Structures are given as C-alpha cells and as structure tokens.
Amino acid sequence: MANFEKILVIQAGTIGEFVLSLAAMRRIRQAHQRARITLLTVPDFQALARTSPYFNEIDTSGVPQGPGEWLSLRRRIKQAQYSRVYDLQGSAWTATLFQILRPFPPPWSGPVSGAKYRHRNPQRETMHVLERQADQLHVAGIWPNAPTAPGDAPAPDLSWILRRAPEARPTPGAQAPKSFVLLVPGGNEKAPYRRWPVSAYAQLAGKLFASGYDIVIIGGPQESALARTIQKTVGRARDLTGRTDFAQIALLGAKAVLAVGNDTGPLHLIAAAGAPTVALFAGGPEEALAGPRGHVAVLHAPDLANLSVDTVANASWSLLPR
C-alpha cells in the first residue's frame, strides 16, 4: 500500500469563520494534492465539508467536552502521525490542543501559545480573515506569493456546490421558475440592534415581490415567527426556516439573484456561493475583519433599526440583474 502524506486541518468555529476558511482549505488541497487530508470540525459542518473537494476524512469531534474527550483526541492525532497541522481556527482551545500534544506535536501552522503566532506578524490581528490566513499559508511555505494587502485575498469559491448538485428535471408544460431573493432576517437575539426589524424585511419583501421576484426566507427553527410576519405582507413567500442544512443553503445561494440579511453565518455562506448580497452590519468594525467577500454591498449602522427600507432597497436594486 502506498504511503500518503497525512494532513490535519482544524476549523470548528462559527459558520462564518468556516466559510471564510474555505479559501485557505482550497489552497491547502492544491499544495498537497496527493495527501490524505482530515478536517477536524463539528457536526454542523459535516455535510458541507463532505460535499467539498478538499477532504478525505471528516472528524466531527472538534469541540472536546471534558478530560476524556481531550485525551481521546490527543491519542488519535498522535496515532495518525500527521506530517502537518493547519490550524485555521486560531482559538484558545486549539492553542490548548497544541500544548497537550507536547513535547512532540506535529509541525503546526497556527497559534502555538495563546495569541502568539509563529510568524509573529504584528499586523495579524488587524487583518481580514482571508488575508490573515493567506499570510499564515505564506509562512507555512505553501503560498509563495500570498496576497495579503487589504482586500486582495480571493474570496471562497463554492462553485463545486452546483457541480455536485443533482440537475433539476423540467416538468413538461410547467412554467419556468421565477428568479428568487433570499432573506436572512435572523441573528443574535441578545443583540437586537444587530437585527434589522422584521417589519422592514416585510416591506422590502413586498417591494421585491411587486417587481416580479419570488421571496425565500431561511434561518433556524427559532426564526419561523419572523418568516410568518413577512408572509403577512407577501403571502406567497416561501418559509424554509429550520428546513435547510448548510450545504442546502449554499446551493440556494448559488441560484439566488439576490440575498439580503443580517450578519449571520448563513449570509456568509450565501455570499460565498455567489449570490449578490446586501449585508447589514451593526456595532463595531467586525465587517472589516470577518465580513463576507464577493459581490457584496455592506450597509452599516450603529443600530440597524435606524437603517431605512429605501436605503436597503436601493442597494438591492443596484445588485439585481438588469
């Protein structure tokens, strides 16, 4: 049996972090084309990761609970004898994992002691995730000309979502499906200023529907009430809250003509899949460091309740196909 190089990639953070890391994951696969690459993540990302062309194995034990699970993870990593670990998460727990693998951890690309990184780039914490990970892979020696200037690193490419999706079979005599707009009205319930009011989403949905677009609403099961409120304005709006996994959301994003939503993981996924996206951000400068990239318009307000429907509608019209 041939001996394959073994690589471990770690990303068990938020869905937004996972989506942005897909750009680095692609580069890692290109640099290790014949390697056997394992992703250490969480169950929520399993379907999306399996659909991608980057990994041979998916380990969903990425958030150990208790000493027993930590020791089990440590044992598996040591037994696997990885030739390199790419830590794309860069969190406190991955730094802890590095420490418990001592004195003989595999060659490690990522955090090695708290916030200290091997490349010691003093600008790292002010860089967008995409440029930060490009810089990390440059230091690791697999991306010689990594683009690290602000805005230069390529956005994630999810074109494989469409290539692997089953083709829809047209029904004889049926009307062609209308173009649809995705709405993502959910978000952090504990920070209402980060959520554009659902009444505003309903007004926007009405404008888009009147212009000939179907409306599709996505989110978690807890956001079904938001979908019902929008449906009071647009009765034919389709409610998919609680009915889609991340791979399915990406597929919807690849087919939508527009998406509008708050700063949520699904919105990152939709933008990466190619949908023209209006992203609504509140509070501090998070969008500068972890905002979606691609065909994206970012609208910012300290409190999203102060963002007018006309402002969001105008941004939407500017992104819609003419």
For the entire predicted model, the pTM comes to: 0.86
Nearest Cα to Cα of residue 309 among 197, 210, 189? 197
Buried b (16+ CB within 10 A) or exposed e, 169-189: eeeeeeeeeeebbbbbbbbee
Domain 6-156, CATH 3.40.50.2000 — does that match? Answer: yes
What pLDDT was estimated at residue 269?
92
CB 137 within 8 A of CB 129: no
Mean pLDDT, range 289-317, rounded to an integer: 93
Joined tokens for residue 297: 């318009």
What pLDDT was estimated at residue 167?
58
What residues does each domain of the chain span?
6-156, 175-319
DSSP structural state of residue 144 = T
Average pLDDT, the chain: 88
The beta strand positions in 11-129, using DSSP E, are 36-40, 57-59, 84-87, 108-109, 111-113, 116-117
Can you tell me the distance from the alpha carbon of 122 to that of 154, in angstroms, rounded to the nearest whole number?
22
More confident of the two residues 283 and 222: 222
Q: Which SS3 state, helix, strand or coil, does residue 300 take? A: strand
Phi, psi of 67 (to 5 degrees): -60, -35
Q: What is the pLDDT of residues 110-131, one digit of tens each?
A: 866 544 444 456 777 788 999 9
Q: What is the pLDDT of residues 63-91, one digit of tens each?
A: 898 899 999 999 999 999 999 999 999 88
Mean pLDDT, range 172-180, rounded to an integer: 68
Chain-centroid distance of CA 311 in Å reads 26
DSSP letters for 236-277: T-EE-TTS--HHHHHHHHHH-SEEEEES-HHHHHHHHTT--E
Question: Percentage of the chain surpassing pLDDT 70?
Answer: 89
Determine the straight-line distance between the first and last CA of the chain, rounded to whole angstroms.
56
Q: What is the pLDDT of residues 39-54, one digit of tens each?
A: 999 999 998 899 899 9
Q: What is the pLDDT of residues 267-279, one digit of tens each?
A: 999 999 999 999 9
Can you tell me the distance from the alpha carbon of 174 to that of 129, in angstroms, rounded to the nearest whole number?
45
Whether the domain at 6-156 and the domain at 175-319 fall into the same CATH topology: yes
Class assignment of domain 175-319? alpha beta
Nearest Cα to Cα of residue 5 among 110, 73, 106, 141? 106
Cα angle 104, 108, 112; round to 5: 85
